[in-house]
Amino acid sequence: MSFLMDTYKRLPVSFVYGKGVYLYDDKGKAYLDLVGGVAVNVLGHSDEDLINALCEQTRKLWHVSNLYQNPWQEEVAKLLVERFWTSAKVFFCNSGAEANEGAIKLVRRFFWEKGEKRYRIITFKNGFHGRTFGAMSATAQEKIHTGFEPLLEGFDYAEFNNIESVKRLLKKETAGIMLEVIQGEGGINEADVEFLQEVQEICKREGILLIVDEVQTGVGRTGRFYAYEHYGIEPDIITLAKGLGGGFPIGCVLAKEEIAQAFKPGSHGSTFGGNPLACACAKVVIEKVSKLLDHVEQVGQYFKERLSTFGKVKGKGLMLGLERNENCQEVVLKALERGLLINCTSERVIRFVPPLIIQKQHVDFAIDILKDIL
């Protein structure tokens, strides 16, 4: 009997140890990890630099609250802003859902401060922004909403890669457009360059804020530190989490300085957000991932080419999806038996979001197993 709430479809395996791109179960069996904690373990498991940074920090200070100056946050924020815009500010939280909640609040607060009655945000079908109430309401998927209605009011749902559907939803109350440049949970659906650039133009013309959810795509996942860099756009706000701490919970909102100023003392907060332990990990991740970007592009392209023999492959870098004409859950179970961890999303897409340190020989091992299964 389990004492846990039944909120996850857990696979029949229990992991007790991890090293590099491998996880080991309680019987000592090794598994090649192509799930990476769902795009979280960017440096793999038991990375020595992460361990050393975390252990060193645990001997100094764990938590002091955000009532006081936090030099660890300042250090990490500087690294993130230098890769984003030089005139940006950062708010730290603990997760992707919290980051998106913060972004939603910031958009509303920004226009409130300007005296404009703008509060509506356009999001996209098959997108995913989290499971807290605001983030869930921003997520245009019925399966996420069911049983939790009424949702938070103020969101309009457009068709992904359909600029006309965006134009039809524009209202005088529209404050922002929020999207993932590659929809992760929705099936590794990549935005067209032209579509994103047209969205950017609409935002500039209408005075609307562009929010890019980089919770899954960010921190090197696609071969650029921020995935929006592939598309020639410049968002006003981005959100990060998942890979930022390499497995230690941390998220953040980055916003252009003129937008970030809408948050005043008392308007938003987080008890644990950006604590010294999380920031110690994030600093290591940012520094190491910044040196892995070419590797991610090269191995990602190799992986994509090898997967293409099995069907349509979507995505960039090491955020890939193999689209099948069948429910993929059985494939996931068969791969598990063979010591390969993969994930099924949107029912018919096998998602691959491994640690960014994966090598070509690991790809070859995975392809051999998939060849037998598929």
CATH code, domain with 314: 3.90.1150.10
217 in a structural domain = yes
171 and 252, same domain (yes or no) = yes
Please say if the pLDDT value at position 93 is more than 90.
yes
Statement: residue 86 has pLDDT above 80 = no
Tell me, what's the pLDDT at 172?
A: 97
Determine the pLDDT at residue 84.
77
28/212 Cα distance (integer angstroms) = 41
Query: What's the pLDDT at 164?
Result: 98
Judging by beta carbons within 10 Å of its beta carbon (0-12, 13-18, 19+), is residue 59 exposed, middle or buried?
exposed
176 and 308, same structural domain? no
Nearest to 99 by CA among 218, 230, 257, 246: 218
pLDDT value, residue 259 = 97
pLDDT of residue 83: 84
What average pLDDT score do residues 51-67 get? 96
Does the pLDDT at position 85 exceed 80? no
Report phi then psi at 309, rounded to 5: -70, -15
pTM of the model as a whole:
0.96
- Is 276 in the same domain as 320? no
Report if residue 7 sits inside a domain.
no
SS3 category, 139: coil
Q: Residue 1: pLDDT band by 50, 70, 90 thresholds? A: confident
> d(Cα 253, Cα 251) in Å, to the nearest integer?
7
Structural domain harbouring 271: 51-289
The per-residue pLDDT for range 198-235, each reduced to its tens digit, is 999 999 999 999 999 999 999 999 999 999 999 999 99
CB atoms near residue 194 (< 10 Å): 11
Please state, in angstroms and rounded to a whole number, the distance separating the CA atoms of residues 269 and 217: 25
pLDDT (0 to 100) of residue 192:
98
Instruction: Give the C-alpha separation, 183 to 189, whole Å.
Output: 5
Q: Point out which residues pair with 133 in neighbouring strands.
A: none
- What's the domain count of the chain? 2
Whether residues 40 and 91 share a domain: the answer is: no
Percent of the chain topping pLDDT 90? 97
Backbone angles phi, psi at 32, to 5 degrees: -75, 120
Nearest Cα to Cα of residue 337 among 23, 54, 13: 13
Angle between helix 276-289 and helix 71-82 axes, rounded to 10 deg:
30
DSSP class of 310: G
Position 282 pLDDT exceeds 90: yes
**In whole angstroms, what is the distance from residue 165 CA to residue 372 CA?**
42
